[in-house]
Each structure stands twice: as C-alpha cells, then as structure tokens.
Structure 1
Amino acid sequence: MKNFLQPGDALDCVAPSGGVVSGTPVIIGSLIGIASVTAAEGAPFTLQRKGVYRLPKTSAQAWTQGAKIYWTSGGKATTADSGNTLIGIAAAAAANPSDFGDVLLGPTTV
C-alpha cells in the first residue's frame, strides 16, 4: 500500500486549550486518547489511542465488564451517557464504591 502512514495507536498532536496531563484522557473533537506526557497548550504531545487504562471513576457506580464508559467534564469515567463523551468500554468489573476502573479505549460495537 502506497498510502499507508502509520498504525494509529499513537498520534502526534498539539495540546488543546488548558494543556494536557500525562495519563489522563484527552478529547480533541472526535479524537480520544490518553496523554503520554504533560504538555502546555500549543505544545506537541503523543496521544495514545489504544490500550487499557486505569482511570478515576464515579465512586458510587458498579461497572460490569463490557459496559460503555464515558468521560465527564469533571474528569471522571462513568456509565452515565447524558452530557458525557464515550471513550470506550469497561475492561473489567468495578465495585461500588471504588475510585478507579479499567477502561479499554476505543469505539464500542454496541
């Protein structure tokens, strides 16, 4: 293939308004991933697009494996879709209460 550029597991991006923090989800339009480094607004950084990440979650939720997971504007993973952005699926069950959950990044098939 002459038009293949890269696998896309990690993309070079420019940090949006407010910058990015290493290990946290970043949403740039419809592009979603995890920042590999902390970068100030306008600085280059690598966005990890695939993998399973342990993320802070809404403590008072129980997750089942395979549940759709969304990111809130307050910086928590949640199963509540209203007003939140879909980031992936629960890679494992998470108890209520618990502060973290494992999320497989990427689109869901449901």
Structure 2
Amino acid sequence: MRNYVQHGNIVDLTAPVDGVLSGEGFLTGDLFGVAATDASVGQKVSTYLEGVFDLPKATGAGLIEGQKAFWDATAKKVTASNTGNTLIGHAVETAAAAAVSVAVRLAR
C-alpha cells in the first residue's frame, strides 16, 4: 500500500514550549503522548501514543481501576476531573487520593 506511513504507536511530535524529558507526558493539540527521549522546545521527539505508563497524579482525588484519566496540562498531572482537561486513557490500577502517580493505559 503506497499511502501507508507507519504503525502509529510511536510518532515524532514537536516538543512543547518548555521542552520535555524522557518519560514525561505532554499534549500536542488534543493528542497526548509520552516522550521516549529528552527534547528541547521545537525539537522532534519520539512519542509513545499507546501503552501503559506510570504518570504523575494530582493529589486530593483518587482514581479507581478502569476510571477515565484526564491530563491537566497546566499541572502536568493525571486527574479524575474532566473540567478543562483532556481525556488520555484509563487507570489500570486504583490510586488513592494521596498517591503521587497512577498507571494509565493511553487511549487513542
């Protein structure tokens, strides 16, 4: 097939305005991914769009296994709140309100 570009689980995206470190989540428009390497602002970075990743979580509210997970782009943390945040996937484990991270299966 001549128009096939790539599988799509890892794509090259432009690093956000403050750059990105390997393992950090970030948004490009409404597309959420996890950086495979460090990248400075404007550089292309290999970005995982699929998989399960341990991501920083906002404290104060927990998530239960299977619950929708949203990305707070300002705080750069996963939250259960959809208000002003972007859906990025689902929690694959329960995380208490005081937990600082949660495992999330990225949604497409």
Q: Percent identity?
A: 36
Alignment of 1:31-50 (within 5 A): 31-50=31-50
Provide the C-alpha distance between the structure 2 equivalents of 1:8 and 1:69, rounded to a whole number of angstroms: 21
What is the number of residues matched between the two proteins? 107
Cα distance per residue 1:11-45 (max 9 Å; x no partner): 01222322112111111112210011111112121
Structure 2 residue matching 1:97: 3-state secondary structure: coil
Structure 1 residue ranges, 4+ long, deviating more than 6 angstroms after superposition:
none
Q: Name 2:12's counterpart in structure 1.
A: 12
2:16, 2:63 → 1: CA distance? 30
RMSD: 1.3
Does residue 82 of structure 1 match 2:95? Answer: no
Q: Any gaps of 5 or more consecutive residues in structure 1?
A: none
Supply the distance in 1 between the matched residues of 2:77 and 2:13 (Cα, whole angstroms): 22
The equivalent residue for 1:95 is: 96
Q: Which residue of 2 aligns with 1:61?
A: 61
Instruction: Describe the SS at the equivalent of 1:70.
Output: strand
Q: Amino acid of the residue matched to residue 45 of structure 1?
A: V
The 2-side partners of 1:34 and 1:56 are apart by 12
Alignment TM-score, normalising by the size of structure 2 = 0.90
Residue 51 of structure 1: CA displacement? 0.5
- Post-superposition shift, 1:62? 2.0
